[in-house]
Structure 1
Amino acid sequence: MKKLLLTALSAVAMLQVGAQSKYKISGQIKNFEGKYIYLHKFTGTSDQLDSVLLKNGKFSFSVPVSNAEMIAISGTSKFSPAWKAFFMDTHDLTFTASGKSWADAVIKGSAANNIYNEWDAEWEAIRQDAGKLYKMLDSAGKLEDKSAGEALRKKGEDGFAALDQRMADAVTKIVDKYPNSPVSAYVIVDRYVNYPNTERAVKEYAKLGAQAKASFYGKKIEEYLAIEQKTAIGKTIELSLPDVNGKMVSLSDYKGKIVMVDFWASWCGPCRKENPNVVKAYKAFHDKGFEIVGVSLDDKKANWLKAIDADGLSWKHVSDLKGWKGEYVGKLGIRAVPTNFILDENGKIIAKNLRGEELYQKLEEIFN
């Protein structure tokens, strides 16, 4: 569940499919005179599509749209408080904002955005509650009384499990209510593709209507499910990367052992919070034949090595230090970290994306 806490505004750049017509955004922004306004569109090869100078508090953009898509208006070329993301469909719309923060900007003319607002209200409430649980887990790790810290940690983990179910219910609610809307497809992408959960993605995708499936987001789900077949249970994967000393390490080196391939990064908060659980599992089952190969998505070696040492990760680590551009990110369809695969003695996947107690229980099942 902790992986849920990243921003809800997420989309991987790829070429838009389908014919596009242009629709107009007419905007009015108070207290921002003489500055540039930027248009961002997340379904093309570049997220920044256009810019215009605000004159007399007004601006306008002509936006190519083929269905309904997530776009954003901002007061800088990058994310800032002067930023508002919303859905634009095949109608002209108006945008009204004021001051330095545009969180409460008013968008009129987009039925798709009304649906998005409905989803976003529920998602924001979940995010707020998740933030409280993060603080609880942080506090647990700082307590000198280890038993009290463990109890608080357990309470936080249980809270995240309940929040995960709440999130799943919210996704189901929006998809069931609006099966033909591209917004429903977007929600599936944002929750179950960008933070992979194949089982849930398949379940919710099956409910979508033709219009939603034909949208940019529907196509992304379809693409994701096709890639997932490469790393489905029972499939065999191979990987060969340099370790911390530059020596090449291959998964074939571990034939005959149970291996967890763990994709992570030093900058990944959920990864670092999960590492104590992974350390616990490694210590409990390593002598029985359990191995881990950590695959880092870092691009700076110093940060990578520092995190390995700080978190006490005593297993083998490999990386090409290319971050999200790494060779196996694309080959294995890695869309988020942490992501893990458990391989049997023959290198076949027998489980994936197990966390905390689920990981421990699976290893107990295997070795005991």
Structure 2
Amino acid sequence: MKNLLTAALAALLCSCGGANYTITGRYELPPGDSVYLLASDNTVLAAGVVNADTTVSLQGTVTTPDLVFLANAKRTNHPAWLFLEPGKIRIEKYDPAFGYVVCGTPLNDRKKAFDEAMYAFGDKLRKGSPGQSLQAILAEMNALYTRTVDANLDNVFGAWVFNSYEFQNIKDNPEKVKARLAQFTPGIQAHPMLKKSQDASQATARSAVGQPYTDFSCKNAAGETIALSSLTGPGRWVLLDFWATWCTPCMNEVPHLKKAYETFHAKGFEIYGVSLDTDLTRWENTIGEQGMNWINVAQKKGGGFDPTALYAVSSIPANFLISPEGKIVAKNLRGEHLEEKLAEVLK
């Protein structure tokens, strides 16, 4: 940690009041195209033009290191993620395995080494490793996460490794998450990445089986606001279903949802489908074409509100079965398991 801070301080002092970071290297955009350095919230931090040899050169001043990315104006190319910190940051190359390889400063060098280690583990998982079981390889990976976070509790690289990797192993245990976050230095604890992990862990606890459901509202295709609570209550079993038309596994579930709805709707079964589609025309057409005759609302019609955060939904399809008493009694019922559960509770 001392070397990291010393290097950052030296770079800052050498800047003599001017730019204290530079970003150079080859970026895969046509010469003359604009390239932007963006914060995670898409705030533009710097901008430049791709040179004739497809290299870029940006410079500026940074006081607090953070994870940022390079992209074109429409964000349609592969982003180059990097840690913005004082020093000479170099984009080495684009690697299909883990994107742009960035180095030259302490945090970026650490990320490069971590990515290389992760690629080696991925290679083991794909090809197998003589004398090593799958469980042993995964245990090694988890040990890498822990060692890396332990060594970087005072910087944003450690926060990134925790949020992207280690958190996935403990997210269902809010107390473990809280204890781990407390090990970071106060300044890093306040970083949005760690706040996101804390919020996700709390949402996981709130949406666990046995917990009361959390109400929210979104709009349907006609623009009408419909609350989840408008479907719940005595005699009603409600499936809260997160899906999207572009999600193949979600669309594979539609026949099962239709069968369950047709079989059990008269007995009090309801579906509150929340689409994550951005193409609302496609969403509306799919509802009609597939005969999805239950309540359908769209996240995009929620005015910026994100219901997935309430239920810690990180992938779809995802669903939650809510009892007449307002409790979550099951999660992620797929295929015939949904019908089996409904047959059990709606005898």
* Fold shared by both chains (TM-score > 0.5): yes
* Separation (CA, whole Å) in 2 of partners of 1:270 and 1:355: 10
Contact 2:37 2:68 in 1 (8 A): yes
| Alignment match, 2:115 | 117
The partner residue of 1:210 within 179, 184, 187 is 184
Contact 2:142 2:166 in 1 (8 A): no
The partner residue of 1:302 within 274, 277, 281 is 281
SS of the residue 1:27 aligns to: strand
Task: Tell me the C-alpha RMSD between the 2 structures.
Answer: 4.6
* Separation (CA, whole Å) in 1 of partners of 2:177 and 2:196: 14
Structure 2 residue 76 is the aligned partner of structure 1 residue 79: yes
Structure 2 residue 5 is the aligned partner of structure 1 residue 28: no
Change (3 A) 1:273 1:176: farther
* Separation (CA, whole Å) in 2 of partners of 1:79 and 1:73: 11
| Alignment match, 1:255 | 233
| Alignment match, 1:341 | 320
| Alignment match, 1:49 | 45
Report the Cα offset of residue 87 of structure 1.
3.8
* Separation (CA, whole Å) in 2 of partners of 1:360 and 1:88: 51
SS of the residue 2:146 aligns to: helix
Report the Cα offset of residue 113 of structure 1.
1.6
Structure 2 residue 195 is the aligned partner of structure 1 residue 219: yes
* Separation (CA, whole Å) in 2 of partners of 1:204 and 1:170: 21
Report the Cα offset of residue 79 of structure 1.
3.0
* Separation (CA, whole Å) in 1 of partners of 2:137 and 2:301: 32
Aligned residues: 306
Contact 2:231 2:270 in 1 (8 A): no
Report the Cα offset of residue 59 of structure 1.
1.3
TM-score, scaled relative to structure 2: 0.65
State the one-letter code of the partner of 1:238. D
SS of the residue 2:75 aligns to: coil
Report the Cα offset of residue 51 of structure 1.
0.7
Structure 2 residue 316 is the aligned partner of structure 1 residue 316: no
* Separation (CA, whole Å) in 2 of partners of 1:307 and 1:364: 28
Report the Cα offset of residue 218 of structure 1.
1.7
Change (3 A) 1:280 1:172: farther
Unmatched runs of 5 consecutive residues or more in structure 1: 1-20, 130-162
Change (3 A) 1:97 1:281: same
SS of the residue 1:37 aligns to: strand
Change (3 A) 1:54 1:244: closer
Contact 1:41 1:72 in 2 (8 A): yes
Identity of aligned residues (%): 23
Q: Deviations over 1:7-33 (max 9, x none)?
A: xxxxxxxxxxxxxx8851341338965
State the one-letter code of the partner of 1:108. G
* Separation (CA, whole Å) in 2 of partners of 1:167 and 1:313: 43
* Separation (CA, whole Å) in 2 of partners of 1:127 and 1:325: 39
Structure 2 residue 266 is the aligned partner of structure 1 residue 266: no
- Greater C-alpha Rg: 2
SS of the residue 2:212 aligns to: coil
* Separation (CA, whole Å) in 2 of partners of 1:204 and 1:330: 17
Change (3 A) 1:214 1:248: closer
Structure 2 residue 172 is the aligned partner of structure 1 residue 199: yes
Contact 2:173 2:201 in 1 (8 A): no
1:126-141 counterparts in 2 under 5 A?
none
State the one-letter code of the partner of 1:264. W
Contact 2:237 2:322 in 1 (8 A): yes
